[in-house]
Structure 1
Amino acid sequence: MAKKRQSFSKDFKAKVTLEALREESTIQEIAVKYGVHPNQIFQWKSQAIAGMADIFERPNKKSEETRKQEEEKDSLLKTIGEQKVEIDFLKKVQADIRLRSNLVEPAYKVLSISRQCKLLGISRSRYYYEPGSGHDEKDFNLLVKIKEVQIEHPYYGYRRIWREINKNGGDTTETTVRRVMRRFGITAVFPGKNLSKACKYHKKYPYLLRNKVIRYPNQVRISLI
């Protein structure tokens, strides 16, 4: 039958170790007195001597290793907390990228506006951008003037249209006229490329006089239709 391993309480270990440190009795005598193996008492005594310096350490002064471990733990907890907040924030991102700037919440102090924009996949300048309200109205007014000139002169390009508008009292630039015409798909009427090419679906008639030698008058007559 295997012998059961002995287990000692911390109070018992402290009592035996303290008596060994006093050195009033030998290790052998203490071992006989308490029924403990001498090697075990010697090990407890060595541990007590090695850890005695920690007893006199200041309570608020922590070892370098403990301090690093706590810093790593705090950093890890902070990272986990930030990720949880970001995940909760991203759960509501279902809109199109053009509408995501409306999802930024300036009052949400846990995440900065810059961080919210980054999570939404937009630039911070897009969040602050405010389109001009009168821009479209000016373009439509200029479009009406362009169409008036084009109805009378459909072959005019943007340069001649620009001159015609300013001649009639308008105040615009050549670049603005070109931009508005491109925006609304307005172009001048002009011949395109390769208009003289024959259509491949038309019937092709052979040239009957090819390689024919003409020797007599009135042998060949030409008819102009």
Structure 2
Amino acid sequence: MEEGNSTTMMKLYSHPMSSCSRRVRLALYLKGLNYECINITSIGDPELLKVNPMGYVPALVDGTTVVSDSYAILLYLEEKYPQHALLPQDIMKKSINYQAASIVSSSIQPLQNTTLVHYIGEIVSPDEKLPWAQYHIRKGFVALEKLLANHAGKYATGDEIYLADLYLAPQLDNAINRFKLDMTEFPLLLKLYKIYCETPSFQQIFAEPPQQIDKSLFNFTKPQEA
């Protein structure tokens, strides 16, 4: 891909309730990068489809460079804008960050995605939507609690904010506030969430403008995210 034009402000196609978009917004905030946030509120938005034919958020436009999928965007930002590294230098801690990000992005988030939860309600029963989401979130949290047990400091893998935190913070927020998961068996994850809530860089993604969010948990329609 061509190098982005540094004189042009980046554009991020996002959605206020998209955990995938929140990861990227956190990275942009931490790296001190200015960008225009374009909130997508309907499936099949023509403006989004122009930059990402899949119709997923987030998508980043940086000059002539277009990157979609949150993981690809984060790696792109890390390589092009190295300020505030998203990965530690220590190879073991780096591997823990990769694993934590993978658990969230592959084993939790897709299975509690609003579109899939709606589908479960249609083919099984509306009463099964919340238990379905809680089951898959809990399964992932069991793995994360064990994975981070010997590596967490103030944050997930030490005393600096890294990639694992970017994935964990939005997922924990969803689990606790949208899916009402009982966090009793996850003291480490709950401790991390409380720290995120007290940290300015995370506060700015948790405090969304009320007018942009439909408070109904399962009647909310949003674009697919990746």
TM norm structure 2: 0.17
- Higher RCO by CA contacts (8 Å cutoff, separation 6 or greater): 2
Computing the radius of gyration over CA atoms, which structure comes out larger, 1 or 2? 1
TM norm structure 1: 0.17
Q: Which has the higher strand share?
A: 2
